[in-house]
């Protein structure tokens, strides 16, 4: 059963410092508005380092310079004036607001397969003769890819295990033009990724079919997500005993208030943003009306998208698919009767049919090349490289931290200082005509997000920058995207989450139960606010907490409004901690265009004045270098895999301090098997994952 898991966010272990869940401001170029005078006043309220940096950036001459490459914005000096005259504001809006660009105004980036001419075919054959041995593929081969488990949005080194979305998509494109490849055989089993990645792969299946080659899918375990992907294939086979379940979609929320009461923990929480659910999980025993509204909207989008795309692909009516799910079908035979699969066959039987398809005799072995080997085939050998125009690709995937920890491993999240180096590399080099920031992150360290925002904005002053969103680009992930000229998201990308939760735990009753005592000697009225976890907050401390949270929310909300060129009251309507799907975010001005990475490339070409039919060179600046643990892991050492998990966990624990621009509470069908675990272990897993 497909799940939309609502994960727990709790406090760090004893003694707990205050926890902060803040959201990311958002950048938009459609309209210009006034920035609240409180942020830009000479004596602003106590700003966090990231907001202080923002204030400095907004007052800098480079930001206000008329030569700025933010060509779609026009800032008047009056926009930074504290005079709140209604007439003046209305005149300013008339001068600065721009006509909104609709999704149709951007190029689609649709794949256009073009047959290779005789001369180019000769050159390709010549290149294949001199290719490296590991790039050799027998003519008439079938490309096999096992799509199972997690799919990373980062590139993988040769020695890294696991699947990489960019390499999967690249394999589809290479196979379409490779004369040695007859078709593709997909094994789809237990996907553990978000719907945005599934949508990207599904799009590439349809694109590959334009080459006239076949795509066959085999599903030993089939649920809604796996079927959604496989439905794009020409033929779809399940074994007669396949694990099959089309029962629908669910959303879950976990609440700890009752647990805290039993163990003697009292959370002191200030929640700003009525949709910010992290506070609810700590203080409530049931789902709030606002949280239910938000999660219901997300669930409806998932369900509606599934019904629409599957029914359209299979020539069914949406109502028929609804009825099929509601019947509680459990026999694989019904799938065949309804025309939802081609037939029921075992893997060896499907391979025998593939032999007939490619003209291989029954007693011969079907020539096959797997995902790992084919990923090493360079585009050069297929004549797919070329083009003098270079576009830089910078990938940012995972939780955000500011600096690299001694425990950090290659590819373990977004390290701000490392990503900034890549951004500066793209900015300082004149050879790149544009840049694409590919984001797959729920956020993290707010200061790191702000520093990267600044660098991306500087990059956007020198060349077009497009933000391309994957499964999640919320809070800190959205913070990064806001500096781009254009933001592209998939229909079901999770984004938004503009809100604040701050608080601390009172552990006095727990301490009494376990016989623990804690005494503090302090100087200063509020010195014990963070340290005194053995008692509840005093009224004056609680008031300071409330004011601090409200101030942080207003500053982030106002910065988001300014960045997206949106009136503050309009931003307030879409903020308040609410998470949106990409389609809903686009309709509310938080996203510019709906599509995948290919559309981001097309828009980058448009912004850089590169003809759409001209080939460009995509240069990956985030290409990983293999580390010794990765090499050992690639060989198959489970010990190294366990060590990696432990190190990443310790790293998260060590860097969980400070303001967090992190999406709270939602993972988009992330750990599919979590619902079958022990509920207490699941809560612990969720807690550790939220640090």
Q: Is the pLDDT of residue 161 over 50?
A: yes
Whose tokens are 């795309």? That residue is 309
Helices and strands counted in the chain (H then E): 26, 28
Cα–Cα–Cα angle for 405, 410, 415, rounded to 5 degrees: 50
Q: Where are the alpha helices (DSSP H) in 179-313?
A: 195-209, 224-230, 257-263, 278-283, 289-313
CB within 8 Å of 402: residues ≥ 6 apart: 415, 416, 417, 445, 447, 448, 451, 655
The catalytic residue among 164, 449, 475, 622 is 475
Provide the pLDDT confidence category of residue 59 given band limits of 50, 70 and 90: very low
Task: List, as one string, the DSSP characters of 422-485.
Answer: HHHHHHH-TTEEEEEEEEEE-EEEHHHHHHHHHHHHHHHHHS-EEEEEEEEEETHHHHHHTTSS
What does the pLDDT look like over 401-423, one tens digit per residue? 988 765 555 556 899 999 999 99
The percentage of residues in the chain with a pLDDT greater than 70, rounded to a whole number, is: 73
Provide the pLDDT confidence category of residue 11 given band limits of 50, 70 and 90: very low
Taking residues 255-273, report their average pLDDT: 77
At 542 the pLDDT is: 81
Query: Greater confidence, 268 or 199?
Result: 199
At 20 the pLDDT is: 37
To the nearest 10°, report the CA torsion of 655, 657, 658, 660: 70
Spatial separation of the C-alpha atoms in residues 345 and 240, rounded to whole Å? 7
Among the residue ranges 118-132, 268-282, 470-484, 513-527, the one predicted with the least confidence is 268-282
Q: Backbone phi, then psi, for 466, in 5-degree steps?
A: -115, 130
Spatial separation of the C-alpha atoms in residues 646 and 193, rounded to whole Å? 22
Selecting from 3.90.226.10, 1.10.1740.10, 3.30.230.10, 3.40.50.960, what CATH number does the domain 387-518+528-624 have? 3.90.226.10
* CB burial of residue 352 (10 Å; 0-12, 13-18, 19+): middle
What does the pLDDT look like over 579-618, one tens digit per residue? 899 999 999 989 999 999 999 999 999 999 999 989 899 9
The dihedral built from the CA positions of residue 330, 333, 334 and 339, taken in this order, carries a sign that is: positive
Domain positions in the chain = 132-380, 387-518+528-624
What does the pLDDT look like over 434-450, one tens digit per residue? 999 999 998 878 788 88
Spatial separation of the C-alpha atoms in residues 340 and 470, rounded to whole Å? 28
Beta bridge pairs of residue 151: 163
Average model confidence (pLDDT) for the chain?
76
Q: Backbone phi, then psi, for 640, in 5-degree steps?
A: -65, -40
Among the residue ranges 81-85, 331-335, 435-439, 530-534, the one predicted with the least confidence is 81-85
Q: Which two tokens stand for residue 607?
A: 């912004």
Provide the pLDDT confidence category of residue 165 given band limits of 50, 70 and 90: very high
Taking residues 488-499, report their average pLDDT: 89
At 681 the pLDDT is: 43
Provide the pLDDT confidence category of residue 689 given band limits of 50, 70 and 90: very low
Using DSSP's 3-state secondary structure scheme, residue 299 falls into helix
Using DSSP's 3-state secondary structure scheme, residue 190 falls into strand
Q: Is the pLDDT of residue 97 over 60?
A: no
Q: What is the DSSP letter of 608?
A: T
Greatest CA span in the chain, whole angstroms? 87
Q: Is the pLDDT of residue 459 over 70?
A: yes
What is the dotted CATH code of the domain comprising 132-380? 3.90.226.10
The percentage of residues in the chain with a pLDDT greater than 90, rounded to a whole number, is: 39
Task: List, as one string, the DSSP characters of 383-431.
Answer: T----SEEEEEEEEES-EESS--TT--TTSSEEHHHHHHHHHHHHH-TT
Q: Which of the residue ranges 360-369, 533-542, 623-632 has the most confident prediction, judged by mean pLDDT?
A: 360-369
Please indicate whether residue 164 is annotated as part of the active site. Answer: no
At 406 the pLDDT is: 58
Taking residues 154-163, report their average pLDDT: 78
At 408 the pLDDT is: 54
Beta bridge pairs of residue 249: 2
Provide the pLDDT confidence category of residue 550 given band limits of 50, 70 and 90: confident
Other CB atoms closer than 10 Å to residue 133's CB: what's the count?
Answer: 5
Spatial separation of the C-alpha atoms in residues 55 and 607, rounded to whole Å? 29
């Amino acid at each position: 059963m497909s799940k939309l898991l609502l994960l727990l966010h709790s406090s760090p272990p004893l003694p707990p410092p205050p926890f902060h869940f803040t959201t990311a401001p958002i950048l938009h170029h459609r309209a210009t508005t006034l920035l609240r005078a409180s942020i830009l006043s000479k004596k602003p309220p106590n700003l966090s380092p990231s907001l202080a940096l923002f204030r400095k950036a907004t007052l800098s001459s480079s930001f206000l310079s008329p030569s700025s490459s933010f060509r779609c914005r026009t800032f008047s000096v009056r926009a930074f004036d504290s005079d709140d005259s209604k007439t003046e504001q209305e005149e300013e809006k008339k001068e600065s607001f721009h006509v909104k660009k609709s999704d149709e105004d951007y190029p689609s980036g649709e794949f256009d397969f073009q047959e290779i001419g005789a001369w180019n075919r000769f050159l390709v054959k010549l290149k294949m003769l001199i290719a490296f041995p590991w790039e050799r593929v027998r003519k008439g081969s079938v490309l096999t890819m096992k799509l199972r488990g997690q799919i990373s949005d980062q590139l993988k080194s040769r020695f890294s295990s696991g699947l990489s979305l960019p390499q999967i998509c690249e394999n589809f494109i290479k196979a379409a033009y490779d004369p040695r490849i007859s078709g593709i055989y997909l094994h789809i089993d237990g996907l553990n990724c978000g719907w945005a990645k599934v949508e990207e792969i599904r799009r590439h299946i349809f694109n590959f079919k334009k080459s006239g080659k076949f795509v066959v899918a085999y599903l030993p375990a089939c649920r809604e997500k796996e079927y959604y992907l496989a439905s794009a294939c020409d033929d779809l086979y399940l074994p007669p005993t396949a694990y099959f379940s089309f029962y629908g979609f669910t959303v879950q929320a976990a609440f700890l208030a009752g647990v805290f009461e039993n163990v003697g923990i009292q959370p002191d929480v200030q929640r700003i943003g009525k949709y910010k659910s992290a506070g609810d999980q700590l203080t409530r025993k049931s789902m709030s009306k606002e949280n239910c509204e938000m999660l219901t909207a997300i669930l409806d989008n998932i369900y509606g998208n599934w019904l629409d795309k599957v029914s359209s692909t299979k020539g069914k009516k949406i109502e028929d698919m609804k009825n099929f799910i509601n019947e509680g079908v459990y026999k694989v035979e019904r799938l065949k009767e309804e025309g939802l699969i081609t037939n029921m066959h075992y893997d060896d039987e499907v391979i025998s049919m593939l032999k007939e398809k490619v003209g291989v005799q029954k007693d011969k072995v079907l020539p096959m090349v797997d995902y790992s080997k084919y990923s090493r085939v360079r585009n050069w050998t297929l004549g797919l490289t070329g083009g003098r125009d270079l576009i830089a690709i910078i990938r940012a995937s995972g939780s955000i931290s500011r600096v690299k920890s001694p425990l950090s491993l290659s590819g373990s999240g977004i390290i701000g200082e490392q990503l900034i180096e890549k951004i500066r590399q793209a900015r300082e080099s004149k050879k790149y005509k544009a840049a694409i920031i590919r984001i797959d992150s729920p956020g993290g360290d707010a200061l790191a997000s702000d520093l990267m925002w600044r660098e991306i904005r500087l990059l956007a002053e020198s060349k077009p920058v497009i933000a391309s969103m994957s499964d999640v680009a919320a809070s800190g992930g959205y913070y990064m995207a806001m500096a781009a000229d254009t933001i592209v998201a998939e229909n079901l990308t999770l984004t938004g989450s503009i809100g604040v939760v701050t608080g601390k735990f009172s552990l006095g009753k727990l301490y009494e139960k376990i016989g623990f005592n804690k005494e503090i000697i302090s100087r200063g009225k509020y010195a014990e606010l963070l340290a005194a976890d053995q008692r509840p907050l005093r009224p004056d401390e609680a008031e300071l907490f409330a004011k601090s949270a409200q101030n942080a929310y207003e500053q982030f909300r106002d910065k988001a409004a300014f960045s997206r060129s949106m009136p503050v009251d309009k931003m307030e309507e879409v903020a308040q901690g609410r998470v949106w799907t990409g389609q809903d975010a686009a309709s509310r001005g938080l996203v510019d265009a709906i599509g995948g990475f290919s559309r981001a490339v097309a828009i980058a070409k448009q912004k850089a004045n590169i003809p759409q039919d001209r080939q460009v060179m995509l240069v990956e600046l985030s290409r990983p270098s293999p580390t010794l643990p990765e090499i050992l892991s690639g060989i198959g050492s489970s010990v190294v895999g366990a060590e990696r998990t432990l190190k990443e966990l310790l790293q998260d624990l060590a860097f969980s301090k400070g303001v967090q621009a992190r999406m709270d509470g939602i993972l988009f069908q992330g750990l599919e098997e979590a619902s079958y675990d022990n509920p207490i272990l699941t809560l612990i897993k969720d807690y550790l994952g939220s640090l």
